[in-house]
Chain A
Amino acid sequence: MDKKKIARVAAFRYKILAIIFLVLAGGLVLLPKYQKQEGIKSETLLSHANSTERYISTDQIANKIINQDPSFILIDVRNEDSFSNYSIPNAINIPLKKIFDEESLAYLNQNQFDVVFFSNDNFYADQAWVLCDRLGFKNLRVLNGGLNKWFSTIINPKMPNEDMPDEEFELYSTRKAASMFFGVVYSDQVTTEDSNVKPEAPKQVITVQKKKKKVAEGGC
């Protein structure tokens, strides 16, 4: 009698176990919902976004371009029309809408270069940055102030007033030299050499090259 009972319960157990496993398997279907989270956590993204270290100034970029620093790529996130009208030399055009296209990802998702986003302002560039940073892309930067600041600082630097400190004048002359590099011609510049302006520009650049030495000293 006892044996029979035990055997019956034993047979029943298997069924219970099978049902429990089925329920658990059903639970697995619900799990992927949590795993849908793409990219880094929202808290991490917020803390990244709160720090301003992603911003790079127009002066830094101008310096890098003039020194032919190969370590970065400029990404213009404006539309094609604005890009074809004017952009920073050597920039690549990836309109904001297309940043997740296959060919764009090749530029954005790599560890070799610093990626510097820019637009007219840093509004769209920041949006591109947020989306790419969420996906965990490395070395993303944003040009602070975008092309508007590029214009007001590098292309058309404002002459400092006479009562301003010496540094302002230094900065102005550096920027002016940079603007000549980027194609702006000043009327006083033409006097030194007759008409051909372009040879002038490289001469001005030499001053900026001195910064190269800086890096060597830093290394020591």
Chain B
Amino acid sequence: MKELEKVKRISIASTLFILAVLIGVLTFERPKNMYAMNTKTTLEKLSTNDYMVSLNEITPEVIIIDIRSQYEYDKGHLETAINISTPDILSEENQGFFNELKDANKIVVLYGKSPQEANIPFMLLYQLGFDNVKLLAVENNYLQNKLITSQIDIEKPVADIKAFIAESVKKSNASKTIAEKTEPVKKVVTVQKKKKKVAEGGC
């Protein structure tokens, strides 16, 4: 009889244990929008893959996505572009949409006001595993309320700063005898005004 008691206890304990595990498994929530890549592989892929697309590479099969706000989109957008603004990019609906496009092997091109702006959603989607996502190297400006899209190069230095500084030094050495243009320099003193501002704020 005693043995039977023991067996009972063991089985009760183990059923409870199994129940606990089952409840744990059932209530376990799979995190949404999981990364498919860790940071290191993302970095590697970024440096090896070509993810910039220029305007003339766009074919009708390419899906163009405008990541600016609805307002900006309504004001003017590229033809055939779909509006998914950056803050909504992770919503269930949009993720489903991206998944569909990925399954259909379609290339998705993002653009914003500038490539810098589209960079953030691009990086996010890329890390989520959408490696069919690319960036459009364009800048959008308005001229008299009309959207002007122009091709730009990212990360292109505007000037050789070192050369500029060297040039300025050279110039000043060459023209030592320029006189009486000191007025703008005197204006430096006006920085004091800023000081006043902050003092007022502090009080």
Residues of A within 8 A of B (CB): 6, 10, 13, 17, 20-21, 24, 27, 34, 36-39, 41-43, 45-46, 49-50, 78, 82, 85-86, 96-97, 99-100, 119-124, 126-127, 130-131, 134-135, 146-148, 150-152, 155-156, 159, 166, 169-170, 172-174, 176-177, 182-192, 194-195, 197, 204, 207-208, 210-211, 213-214, 217-218, 220
Q: Is B55 an interface residue (CB 8 A)?
A: no
- The interface stretch among B72-80, B96-104, B114-122, B143-151 is B114-122
Asked if A85 and B162 make an inter-chain contact with CB atoms under 8 angstroms apart, the answer reads: yes
What are some 23 contacts across the A-B interface (CB < 8 A)?
A: A13-B11, A21-B14, A37-B34, A39-B35, A42-B128, A46-B120, A49-B86, A100-B39, A120-B155, A121-B155, A146-B155, A148-B157, A151-B161, A155-B164, A173-B184, A176-B185, A177-B188, A185-B171, A189-B185, A190-B173, A194-B176, A211-B191, A218-B201
Asked if A124 and B190 make an inter-chain contact with CB atoms under 8 angstroms apart, the answer reads: no
Partner of B119, one of A123, A184, A186, A218: A123
Q: Is B198 an interface residue (CB 8 A)?
A: yes
Instruction: With CB as the reference atom, state the residue of chain B lying closest to A3.
Output: B4
Other A-B contacts than A192-B182, A214-B194, 4 sampled, CB-CB below 8 A, are A41-B31, A183-B169, A186-B168, A191-B181
Nearest CB in chain A: distance from B118 CB, A: 10
Asked if A34 and B202 make an inter-chain contact with CB atoms under 8 angstroms apart, the answer reads: no
Question: For window 29-45 of chain B, which residues contact chain A by CB distance below 8 Å?
Answer: 30-35, 38-40, 42-43
Nearest CB in chain A: distance from B200 CB, A: 10
Q: How far is the CA of A51 from the CA of B119 in the complex (A)?
A: 14
Instruction: With CB as the reference atom, state the residue of chain A lying closest to B7.
Output: A10
Instruction: With CB as the reference atom, state the residue of chain A lying closest to B88.
Output: A46
Q: How far is the CA of A210 from the CA of B46 in the complex (A)?
A: 44
Nearest CB in chain A: distance from B3 CB, A: 9
Known: A10-B4, A42-B90. A174 touches B159 (CB 8 A): no
- Residues of B near A146 (CB, < 8 A) are 155
- Residues of A near B191 (CB, < 8 A) are 170, 173-174, 207-208, 210-211
- Residues of B near A183 (CB, < 8 A) are 165, 169
Q: Is B62 an interface residue (CB 8 A)?
A: no
Q: How far is the CA of A217 from the CA of B159 in the complex (A)?
A: 39
Question: For window 168-192 of chain B, which residues contact chain A by CB distance below 8 Å?
Answer: 168-169, 171-173, 175-182, 184-185, 187-192
Known: A50-B86, A177-B188. A187 touches B171 (CB 8 A): yes
Interface SS, A side: helix
Q: Is B23 an interface residue (CB 8 A)?
A: no
Q: Is B60 an interface residue (CB 8 A)?
A: no
Asked if A126 and B190 make an inter-chain contact with CB atoms under 8 angstroms apart, the answer reads: no
- Residues of B near A148 (CB, < 8 A) are 157-159
- Residues of A near B90 (CB, < 8 A) are 42-43, 46
- Residues of B near A122 (CB, < 8 A) are 116
- Residues of B near A156 (CB, < 8 A) are 159, 164
- Residues of A near B169 (CB, < 8 A) are 183-185, 197
- Residues of A near B33 (CB, < 8 A) are 41-43
Most B Cβ at <10 Å: residue of A46, A120, A169: A46
Asked if A173 and B172 make an inter-chain contact with CB atoms under 8 angstroms apart, the answer reads: no
Q: Is B21 an interface residue (CB 8 A)?
A: yes
Instruction: With CB as the reference atom, state the residue of chain B lying closest to A39.
Output: B39
- Residues of B near A170 (CB, < 8 A) are 187, 190-191, 193-194
A-B pairs with the 4 shortest C-beta distances?
A188-B181, A86-B162, A185-B172, A38-B38
Asked if A134 and B39 make an inter-chain contact with CB atoms under 8 angstroms apart, the answer reads: yes
Asked if A121 and B184 make an inter-chain contact with CB atoms under 8 angstroms apart, the answer reads: no
- Residues of A near B35 (CB, < 8 A) are 37-39, 42, 134
